[in-house]
Each structure stands twice: as structure tokens, then as C-alpha cells.
């Protein structure tokens, strides 16, 4: 605890309020809150992080447990009171290390501050009942996989049905559980400076208590669990690794890069893919990193400096509009398109309550526009790799099918296994990505 300032629970409640009221991204809001909160112990910082992501991932189950012990429901309860109840219920149901009485007491005190004593009796009664009765039974995933997605994973019904259309029924529970579980920290060894095995040894020496394992599916990847302050290690400061999901690493590997090539990273974001492409080319490719957001490109340039990346030029541009640069100029184009983000729910669980069915169709239209803009930039014989961090076909295979129908000079570059990447959290311990590599023939 930090008697002179906010506790980890206080920070978590404030961040969750920003996410709910302002539409803030949980990772950014949490990072900013922790930066502002001085004197918070490492334990309380860890608790704040656990509570923010745990409550967002388990929000449906928490509300379900609270509703089950309430005579009048929670619909009319003040949002911040509901958040305080969720934070307390999460500790009661999912954090064995915290005594139930402590969670109840803290939740009641939080409600007292929010409503000046009103509803304190209700909060105390609800939380004590949750402590005594526990969580109501969940649907049996074998008999009711749709119900399990809705009740256990908190998927809205439209998303649950969409998921059922994409996965075998016997994988639904595993996918639901993986999507609502904490994701490991996935990092990429910066081969411009170090190989994966040497990085693994360095990190194990710096953080001997951490669990670090190399997955077989990505050549430079390490999956890190239980590591204290990875971004305060010497390895981080020396630019020996970057954060990049295993699925994203496989996408960049599919796109490929070689010395002497000219490459376009469209929708480059904060530069992780550009840095990876540069490493694959041994720092000897010419890469244009393009994004619509100048602030993201500022962050990308800082990343390039830390990693020692050269040969990358950043440019702010809207690729849904006509391109005013050179045509047929690139050996390779990587388009990691904006998407619904349904494949990264374990990292951005707030998306569960924000996405609506119409988003998918609108994004698929934009993805088609982006492909139409970048296609003329690929030289004859060059490749265009399209990827999205989502799992439904409407933004994956269907977008590519329509693109190929309208662009006969492109074809899938190989077999479905050699030219396509599809990853799943329950199969690959990776975010759910779809990617395909196309080749221009003329």
C-alpha cells in the first residue's frame, strides 16, 4: 500500500473509468497513470495492471456474478460504482492471494468515496454474497459452445456466432479461454545486434526468475512470462530486442526482405514491422515506412534509433487516397491494414464492448481501397503481402478474393501453406493474424 497517495486499486479504478467513459485504450491509459503515480510500490503497480486487464477480460463474468446476488440488478447503478464492484469481485473470484475480506472492505470504501455514502450498504451486501457464493456455473462448452463464448468469454452474440463460423466447435472453449487469458510478452531478437540464443542467455542472466522460451514458429521470437521490468534491462537499453507478437513476426517473415531491395511498409504504425524488415535485410534494404498518423511515426523513429536501424524513411500519408509517389517502384510491399482487431482481444480486451457488426463491413471496404492504392506501386515480379490482426474471413480471404477479381495481374505467390499465414492464440500462443503474399506478374 501507499498511504501518501493512490493505491494500485485506486489506479486501476481510475484507468477503468477512463476506458469506459472516454473510450481510452487500456494500455495507454494504464501506462500514463502509472507514470503519474509516484511512490507506488512494484507490487501495487503489478496489482493495478492485473486489475485493469483482469476486469476488462472478465467483465461479463463479473457482472454476471454480481447480478446473480442482486435483487434489483445493476443497470441503474452508477458506472463508477459498478467499476468499484467489478474490481472487488475480480479480487474475490480470481485472485487467491488477496483475502476476500480485504477486497470487500476496499470495494465498500471506494463506493463510499464515489457516492458519499450512498449505496454503501448495497455494495457491502453484494460483495459479501459474491464472497460466500462464488461464481454461478458457466455453460458446458461441449454442449453449449455458443453460450460459453457469451458467458465465459464475454463475447457479444454477433461475435460469438461469427467465431463459431470460423472454428470447429471443439476448439471454441480453448479459443475463448486463450482470448481472455493474459498474453505472454512476445519479443523479437534484433538480429542487427544479437541472435536469439544469445539474447535468451542475456535475459536469463539479468532476470533469472523469468520464464523465457523460444517458440518453434518464429525464428527470432521469445515468449516471456513472469519477468520483472523487462524494459529496464540492459538488453532493452542496448536495443537487443523489440516487442512484437509471434503472429506479427510470422507475417513479416512471410513478406520477406533482402539486401538491395526497395520496400514499402504501408500502414507502418509505430515501426515494428519496418524494423523487422530491416533486420531481415541485414540493414541493407531501402524501406519507406508510411502511416497516416505523424505521432506514430515519431514513435517509430525513436524505435529505429534504439535498435540501430538504418535505411528507413518515414512519411505521413493517407493511403486510401491516390499515391503521388513513384509507380512500380517497390520490390516488396507489406500492407498490415487497419482492421477490427478481433485477433488481439487478449491484449486489448476493451474491444469486446466497442466493436459492432457494421465495423467489419466498413473496414473491409477500406482495406480494399488500401490494396487498390498500393497495388500499382509493386514492380512486375514483386510481391504484395496483405495482413490483418483479426480472424474473420470478411477482412481476410473475402477482401483478397475481391482484390484478385479486380486485379488479374496479381496471383497468390505459391500454395496456401507457403503463401498464407493464419495464427490463433489457442493453437500458436500468438494473436490471431491472417496474411497472404501475392505476386505481380505484369
pLDDT digits (tens, 9 = 90+) for 6-21: 899 999 999 999 999 9
Tell me whether strands 221-225 and 185-189 are parallel, antiparallel or unpaired.
Answer: antiparallel
Q: Could you say which of 243, 258, 275 is where a domain stops?
A: 243
Q: Which of 73-87, 140-154, 251-265, 287-301 shows the lowest mean pLDDT across its residues? A: 73-87
pLDDT digits (tens, 9 = 90+) for 211-249: 999 999 999 999 999 888 899 999 999 999 999 999 999
Q: What is the pLDDT of residue 149?
A: 95
Q: What is the pLDDT of residue 117?
A: 61
Are residues 324 and 307 part of one domain? Answer: yes
Q: Could you say which of 196, 216, 243 is where a domain stops?
A: 243
Q: What is the pLDDT of residue 416?
A: 81
* Domain-located, residue 189: yes
Q: Mean pLDDT across the stretch 281-285?
A: 97
Are residues 95 and 83 part of one domain? Answer: yes
Residue 114 has pLDDT above 90, yes or no: no
Residue 162 has pLDDT above 60, yes or no: yes
Q: What is the pLDDT of residue 37?
A: 87
Are residues 356 and 208 part of one domain? Answer: no
pLDDT tier for residue 2 given thresholds of 50, 70 and 90: very low
Are residues 156 and 124 part of one domain? Answer: no
Question: What is the domain-level CATH number for residue 225?
Answer: 3.30.70.1170
Are residues 329 and 234 part of one domain? Answer: no
pLDDT digits (tens, 9 = 90+) for 332-370: 999 999 999 999 999 999 999 899 999 999 999 999 999
Q: What is the pLDDT of residue 326?
A: 79
The arrangement of strands across the sheet holding 211-213 comes to 211-213, 221-225, 185-189, 241-243
Q: Mean pLDDT across the stretch 306-311?
A: 97
* Domain-located, residue 140: no
pLDDT tier for residue 1 given thresholds of 50, 70 and 90: very low
* Domain-located, residue 208: yes
* Domain-located, residue 422: yes
Of residues 418, 429, 355, the one with CA closest to residue 392: 355
pLDDT tier for residue 438 given thresholds of 50, 70 and 90: very high
Q: What is the pLDDT of residue 118?
A: 63
Q: Mean pLDDT across the stretch 83-102?
A: 95
Are residues 254 and 235 part of one domain? Answer: no
Are residues 205 and 127 part of one domain? Answer: no
Which residues are registered as beta bridge partners of 330? 378
Q: What is the pLDDT of residue 108?
A: 94
* Domain-located, residue 1: no
Are residues 209 and 318 part of one domain? Answer: no
Question: What is the domain-level CATH number for residue 38?
Answer: 1.10.940.10
Residue 51 has pLDDT above 90, yes or no: yes
d(CA 407, CA 441): 11
d(CA 13, CA 77): 16
Range of the structural domain that residue 373 is part of: 246-440
* Domain-located, residue 139: no
Are residues 280 and 268 part of one domain? Answer: yes
Are residues 126 and 22 part of one domain? Answer: yes
Q: Do the Cβ atoms of 64 and 136 come closer than 8 Å?
A: yes
Q: Mean pLDDT across the stretch 13-42?
A: 92
Q: What is the pLDDT of residue 137?
A: 96
Q: Could you say which of 196, 212, 243 is where a domain stops?
A: 243
Residue 272 has pLDDT above 50, yes or no: yes
Q: What is the pLDDT of residue 298?
A: 97
- 226-230's contacts with Cβ under 8 Å and 24+ in sequence apart are 227/185, 227/203, 228/42, 229/42, 230/185, 230/187, 230/203
* Domain-located, residue 409: yes
Are residues 265 and 314 part of one domain? Answer: yes
Q: What is the pLDDT of residue 323?
A: 84
Residue 164 has pLDDT above 50, yes or no: yes
Greater confidence, 71 or 163?
163
Question: What is the domain-level CATH number for residue 308?
Answer: 3.40.50.150
* Domain-located, residue 413: yes
Are residues 287 and 389 part of one domain? Answer: yes
pLDDT tier for residue 417 given thresholds of 50, 70 and 90: confident
Q: What mean pLDDT is reported for the chain?
A: 94
Q: Mean pLDDT across the stretch 293-301?
A: 97
- The tally of domains found in the chain comes to 4
Residue 39 has pLDDT above 90, yes or no: no
Q: Mean pLDDT across the stretch 51-65?
A: 95
Amino acid at each position: 500500500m501507499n498511504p501518501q497517495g493512490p493505491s494500485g486499486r485506486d489506479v486501476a479504478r481510475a484507468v477503468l473509468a477512463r476506458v469506459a467513459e472516454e473510450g481510452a485504450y487500456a494500455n495507454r491509459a494504464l501506462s500514463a497513470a502509472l507514470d503519474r503515480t509516484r511512490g507506488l510500490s512494484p507490487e501495487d503497480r503489478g496489482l493495478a495492471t492485473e486489475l485493469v486487464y483482469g476486469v476488462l477480460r472478465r467483465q461479463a463474468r463479473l457482472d454476471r456474478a454480481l447480478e446473480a446476488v442482486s435483487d434489483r440488478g445493476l443497470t441503474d447503478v452508477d458506472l463508477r460504482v459498478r467499476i468499484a464492484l467489478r474490481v472487488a469481485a475480480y479480487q474475490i473470484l480470481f485472485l487467491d492471494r488477496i483475502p476476500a475480506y480485504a477486497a470487500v472492505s476496499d470495494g465498500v470504501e471506494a463506493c463510499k468515496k464515489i457516492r458519499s455514502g450512498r449505496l454503501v450498504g448495497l455494495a457491502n451486501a453484494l460483495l459479501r454474497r459474491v464472497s460466500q457464493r462464488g461464481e454461478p456455473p458457466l455453460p458446458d462448452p461441449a454442449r453449449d459452445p455458443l453460450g460459453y463464448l457469451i458467458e465465459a468469454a464475454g463475447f457479444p452474440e454477433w461475435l460469438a456466432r461469427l467465431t463459431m463460423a470460423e472454428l470447429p466447435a471443439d476448439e471454441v472453449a480453448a479459443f475463448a479461454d486463450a482470448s481472455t487469458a493474459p498474453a505472454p510478452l512476445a519479443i523479437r531478437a534484433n538480429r542487427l545486434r544479437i541472435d536469439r540464443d544469445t539474447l535468451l542467455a542475456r535475459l536469463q542472466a539479468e532476470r533469472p526468475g523469468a520464464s523465457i522460451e523460444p517458440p518453434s514458429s518464429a525464428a527470432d521470437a521469445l515468449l516471456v512470462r513472469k519477468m520483472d521490468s523487462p524494459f529496464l534491462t540492459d538488453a532493452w537499453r542496448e536495443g537487443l530486442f523489440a516487442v512484437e507478437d509471434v503472429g506479427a513476426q510470422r507475417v513479416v517473415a512471410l513478406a520477406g526482405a533482402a539486401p538491395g531491395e526497395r520496400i514499402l511498409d504501408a500502414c507502418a504504425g509505430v515501426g515494428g514491422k519496418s524494423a523487422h524488415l530491416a533486420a531481415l535485410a541485414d540493414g541493407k534494404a531501402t524501406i519507406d515506412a508510411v502511416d497516416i498518423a505523424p505521432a506514430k511515426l515519431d514513435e517509430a523513429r525513436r524505435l529505429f534509433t534504439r535498435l540501430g536501424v538504418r535505411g528507413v524513411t518515414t512519411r505521413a500519408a493517407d493511403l486510401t487516397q491516390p499515391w503521388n509517389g513513384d509507380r512500380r517502384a517497390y520490390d516488396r510491399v507489406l500492407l498490415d491494414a487497419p482492421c477490427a482487431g478481433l485477433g488481439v482481444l487478449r491484449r486489448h480486451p476493451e474491444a469486446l464492448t466497442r466493436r459492432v457488426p457494421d465495423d467489419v463491413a466498413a473496414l473491409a471496404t477500406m482495406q480494399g481501397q488500401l490494396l487498390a492504392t498500393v497495388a500499382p506501386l509493386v514492380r512486375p515480379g514483386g510481391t504484395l503481402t496483405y495482413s490483418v490482426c483479426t480472424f474473420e474471413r470478411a477482412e481476410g480471404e473475402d477482401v483478397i478474393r475481391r482484390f484478385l477479381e479486380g486485379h488479374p495481374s496479381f496471383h497468390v505467390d505459391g500454395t496456401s501453406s507457403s503463401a498464407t499465414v493464419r495464427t490463433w492464440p489457442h493453437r500458436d500462443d500468438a494473436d490471431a493474424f491472417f496474411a497472404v503474399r501475392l505476386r505481380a506478374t505484369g
